[in-house]
């Protein structure tokens, strides 16, 4: 259908302006073509096969037609299918994580980011290894098991050795029952050699947001610093995978450019990774631009409404059914609640976006990246998820047992989620409840666990899970 070959072309060549513009024109021309839209929706539906489900996913052109369509009944149908896909491959589990900001020193000039080098008002901070430990203890005291580390790009203040030391420190802290079991990394695009070092350090997912797939806008939005190089940034995931990192996480910063353009680019990036590396992105994040220090709030006129944002999320879910989807505390409780029913599988909780932000009860604003919209505690978020029928999961078993990249995708496709991930989620939730939860959250949680254990189809696995849960509840873990 297209003249561009996802496998032989480099990411930057495959995700090209001409194809994206043709996609947008095709989507616009077909946005009321009910016959075509119904065919696309049928293609997107999960189909029962053996013990599980299979899904074909959608191409960027097909998904773009759905995104362009403004017929309310079609949006409802898209939302329904998005929820079905989420439940088929991820169940009702929601994986929990927290960001850990290591350093806000940065030499780039990103015009939307308060870390930009010319910002003289932000307090510059970099955690020492002792401070990293203190932050990790504070995060462990809340119950977190999975972190995403964040840093500006600065070869002097934050060289790769600093990042590697910090990862080592994080994995080494074992406070009470709290070892961090998975460290995901969100740092600037780097070399294959450095990606190899990150892989050797045992990171989980390497996350890098493209910010925008519009090359011209990209260059204007990143006027100075190493991040200005669009090709180097766009090809980072290929270098990461060449360096041995199995799981990579994509995302664009919605609000910088036209959302339809970004959506098509994002899906083309996923197609490229799948074609070249045999496995698509492990996760896709959906961050939206926020007000920030020393950033002109009137400069970004591409901000999107909550309705459009929800539609984007649901359409991504249909296009890449096996990819995890992440929403952060940039979004409010209300928006997050809505997106959870449209395919989101991971959320952050109790996040602080300032460097060293977890050490104090009150929020420090002087070094933060953006103000968070969801300021609830982890206990409150966990309780809220359960009130809404989601199982908060602190599981990292796949990563620890080497089920990354295509092996994770194989599990996802095998329909073994209810026998494998579901019991793991319940066991790690039991640990959280016993070790960290308030009385009210404990009560909700134990009731939920009792109900959810009954859903494990394999009798033997059900018995094992019940016995493990009982052991955790009976153990004197502190
Ligand atoms: N320095 C690394 C890089 O350049 O990719 C990553 C770290 S940065 C802390 C993480 C992400 O924050 C960026 O990729 C960007 O999408 C997002 N970000 C920057 N400014 C933002 C803002 N004003 N509102 C919301 N998100 C923002």
Q: What is the pLDDT of residues 197-215, one digit of tens each?
A: 999 999 999 999 999 999 9
User: Which contacts of 364-367 are long-range, i.e. CB under 8 A and separated by 24 or more positions?
Assistant: 366/122, 366/123, 367/101, 367/104, 367/122, 367/123, 367/124, 367/125
**Alpha carbon of 188 to ligand 1 centroid (Å):** 10
Distance CA 176, CA 137 (A): 9
pLDDT at residue 361, as a whole number: 74
> Measured from the CB, is residue 153 less than 6 Å from ligand 1?
yes
> Measured from the CB, is residue 253 less than 6 Å from ligand 1?
yes
Distance CA 413, CA 201 (A): 28
pLDDT at residue 404, as a whole number: 75
- Percent of the chain whose pLDDT exceeds 90: 81
pLDDT at residue 359, as a whole number: 82
pLDDT at residue 410, as a whole number: 75
Q: Give me 24's structure tokens.
A: 């947008």
| CA nearest to 381, candidates 95, 86, 83, 150 | 95
Instruction: Go through the chain and tell me how many residues it has.
Output: 478
pLDDT at residue 418, as a whole number: 66
Confidence of residue 97 (pLDDT cuts 50, 70, 90): very high
pLDDT at residue 415, as a whole number: 63
**Alpha carbon of 74 to ligand 1 centroid (Å):** 33
pLDDT at residue 477, as a whole number: 64
Mean confidence (pLDDT) of the chain: 93
Confidence of residue 194 (pLDDT cuts 50, 70, 90): very high
Measured from the Cα of 113, ligand 1's closest atom is 20
Q: What is the pLDDT of residues 357-411, one digit of tens each?
A: 998 777 777 777 888 899 999 999 999 999 999 999 998 877 677 777 777 777 7
**Alpha carbon of 316 to ligand 1 centroid (Å):** 21
Measured from the Cα of 253, ligand 1's closest atom is 16
| Half-sphere exposure of residue 347: CA atoms within 13 angstroms, side-chain side | 28
Q: What is the pLDDT of residues 40-58, one digit of tens each?
A: 999 999 998 877 888 999 9
> Measured from the CB, is residue 211 less than 6 Å from ligand 1?
yes
pLDDT at residue 302, as a whole number: 67
DSSP 301: -
pLDDT at residue 189, as a whole number: 98
Confidence of residue 476 (pLDDT cuts 50, 70, 90): low
Q: What is the pLDDT of residues 141-182, one digit of tens each?
A: 999 999 999 999 999 999 999 999 999 999 999 888 779 999
319 with 41: CB under 8 angstroms?
Answer: no
DSSP 228: G
Burial of 273 (0-12, 13-18, 19+ CB in 10 A): buried
> Measured from the CB, is residue 370 less than 6 Å from ligand 1?
yes
What is the dihedral angle through the alpha carbons of 431, 433, 434, 436, rounded to the nearest 10 degrees?
Answer: 100
pLDDT at residue 177, as a whole number: 77
Q: What is the average per-residue pLDDT within 319-324?
A: 95
**Residue among 163, 252, 253, 365 whose CB has most ligand 1 atoms within 8 A, to mutate:** 253
Please say if the pLDDT value at position 478 is more than 60.
no
Q: What is the pLDDT of residues 28-44, one digit of tens each?
A: 999 999 999 999 999 99
Q: Which amino acid residue places its CA nearest to atom 3 of ligand 1?
A: 188
| CA nearest to 344, candidates 305, 287, 427, 291 | 287
Confidence of residue 186 (pLDDT cuts 50, 70, 90): very high
Q: What is the pLDDT of residues 326-358, one digit of tens each?
A: 999 999 999 999 999 999 999 999 999 999 999
Q: What is the pLDDT of residues 98-112, one digit of tens each?
A: 999 999 999 999 999
Q: What is the average per-residue pLDDT within 462-466?
A: 93
The sign one gets for the Cα dihedral 314, 319, 320, 322 is positive
pLDDT at residue 387, as a whole number: 97
Whether the predicted model's global pTM rises above the 0.90 cut: yes
Q: What is the average per-residue pLDDT within 217-234?
A: 98
207 with 251: CB under 8 angstroms?
Answer: yes
- Percent of the chain whose pLDDT exceeds 70: 97
> Measured from the CB, is residue 209 less than 6 Å from ligand 1?
yes
| CA nearest to 90, candidates 58, 52, 50 | 52
**Alpha carbon of 113 to ligand 1 centroid (Å):** 6
Crossing angle of helices 160-172 and 192-200, in 10° steps, is 10
Please say if the pLDDT value at position 416 is more than 80.
no
Q: What is the average per-residue pLDDT within 455-461?
A: 89
**Alpha carbon of 40 to ligand 1 centroid (Å):** 34
Q: What is the pLDDT of residues 266-304, one digit of tens each?
A: 999 999 999 999 999 999 999 999 888 888 877 776 689
């Amino acid at each position: 259908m297209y003249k561009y070959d996802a496998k032989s072309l480099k990411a930057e060549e495959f995700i090209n302006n001409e194809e994206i513009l043709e996609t947008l024109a095709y989507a616009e021309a077909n946005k009321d073509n009910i016959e075509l839209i119904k065919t696309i929706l049928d293609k997107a539906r999960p189909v029962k096969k053996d013990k599980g489900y299979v899904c074909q996913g959608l191409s960027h052109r097909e998904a773009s037609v759905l995104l362009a369509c403004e017929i309310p009944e079609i949006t409802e149908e898209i939302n329904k299918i998005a929820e079905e896909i989420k439940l088929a491959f991820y169940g009702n589990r929601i994986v929990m994580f927290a960001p850990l900001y290591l350093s806000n020193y940065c030499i780039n000039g990103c015009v939307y980011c308060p870390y930009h080098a010319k910002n003289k008002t932000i307090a510059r901070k970099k955690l020492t290894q002792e401070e990293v430990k203190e932050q990790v203890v504070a995060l462990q005291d809340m119950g977190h098991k999975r972190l995403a580390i964040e840093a500006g790009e600065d070869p002097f203040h934050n060289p790769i050795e600093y990042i590697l030391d910090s990862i080592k420190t994080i994995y080494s802290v074992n406070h009470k029952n709290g070892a961090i079991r998975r460290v995901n990394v969100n740092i600037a695009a780097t070399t294959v050699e450095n990606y190899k070092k990150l892989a050797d350090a045992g990171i989980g997912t390497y996350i890098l947001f493209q910010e925008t797939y519009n090359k011209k806008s990209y260059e204007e939005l990143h006027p100075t610093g190493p991040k200005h190089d669009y090709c180097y940034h766009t090809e980072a995931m290929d270098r990461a995978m060449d360096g041995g990192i199995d799981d990579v996480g994509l995302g664009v910063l919605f609000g910088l450019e036209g959302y339809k353009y970004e959506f098509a680019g994002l899906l083309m990036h996923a197609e490229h990774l799948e074609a070249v590396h045999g496995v698509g992105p492990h996760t896709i994040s959906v961050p939206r631009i926020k007000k920030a220090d020393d950033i002109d709030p009137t400069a970004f006129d591409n901000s999107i409404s909550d309705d459009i944002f929800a539609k984007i999320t649901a359409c991504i879910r249909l296009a890449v059914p096996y990819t995890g989807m992440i929403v952060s505390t940039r979004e409010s409780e209300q928006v997050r609640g809505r997106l959870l029913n449209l395919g989101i599988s991971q959320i952050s909780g109790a996040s602080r976006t300032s460097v060293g932000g977890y050490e104090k009860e009150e929020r420090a604003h002087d070094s933060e990246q953006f103000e968070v919209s969801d300021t609830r505690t982890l206990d409150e978020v966990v309780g809220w998820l359960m009130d809404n029928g989601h199982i908060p999961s602190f599981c990292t078993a796949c990563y620890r047992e080497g089920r990354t990249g295509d092996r994770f995708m194989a599990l996802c496709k095998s329909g073994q989620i209810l026998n494998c991930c579901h019991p793991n989620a319940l066991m790690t939730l039991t640990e959280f409840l016993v070790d960290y939860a308030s009385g009210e959250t404990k009560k909700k949680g134990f009731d939920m666990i009792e109900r959810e254990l009954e859903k494990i189809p394999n009798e033997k696995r059900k018995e094992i899970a019940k016995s493990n849960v009982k052991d955790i509840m009976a153990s004197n873990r502190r």
